[in-house]
């Protein structure tokens, strides 16, 4: 399993949010460096963002969720065209599950299991 996984749920529809592009970046030398990308599946998940063997070093990471296409497809307002979630990883190889709960006018996240 990827060291970082995510799950996007559309709380306004009560369904997983499929087809959302996600980019994982690492803050290095005062800039964001893209290290992986994926698109949420029918269950709203990207479980293979990174190869299972890849371990991330300690540092600051960002998941960028591009939402405008998803909201347009579902004929919803595009108030938040993207959401960035930044977090600090320990570098100890533990698993991080970072869900995103979204609606056209709000979003929430937490560290899952």
- pLDDT > 90? residue 47: no
b/e code 55-84 from CB counts within 10 Å (16+ = b)? ebeeeebebbbebeebbeeeebeeebeebe
What is the CATH code of the structural domain delimited by 4-109? 2.60.40.180
Residue 13, annotated as binding a ligand: no
The model's pLDDT over 48-81, given as tens digits with 9 standing for 90+, comes to 999 999 999 999 999 999 999 999 999 999 999 9
- pLDDT > 90? residue 93: no
Contact between 22 and 40 (Cβ < 8 Å): yes
- SS3 helix, strand, coil % of the chain, rounded to 5? 5, 50, 45
The Cα-based distances of 8 to 22, 29, 54, 75 in angstroms read 10, 30, 23, 18
Q: Return the bridge partners of 111, or none.
A: none
Residue 7, annotated as binding a ligand: yes
Sequence ranges of the domains in the chain: 4-109
**More confident site: 92 or 62:** 62
Residue 74, annotated as binding a ligand: no
């Amino acid at each position: 399993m990827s060291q970082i996984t995510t799950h996007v749920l559309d709380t306004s529809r009560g369904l997983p949010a499929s087809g959302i592009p996600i980019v994982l970046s690492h803050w290095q030398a005062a800039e964001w460096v893209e290290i992986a990308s994926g698109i949420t599946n029918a269950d709203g998940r990207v479980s293979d963002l990174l190869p299972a063997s890849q371990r991330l070093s300690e540092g600051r990471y960002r998941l960028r969720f591009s939402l405008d296409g998803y909201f347009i497809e579902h004929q919803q307002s595009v108030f938040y065209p993207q959401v960035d979630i930044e977090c600090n990883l320990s570098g100890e190889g533990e698993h991080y599950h970072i869900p995103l709960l979204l609606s056209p006018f709000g979003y929430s996240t937490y560290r899952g299991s």
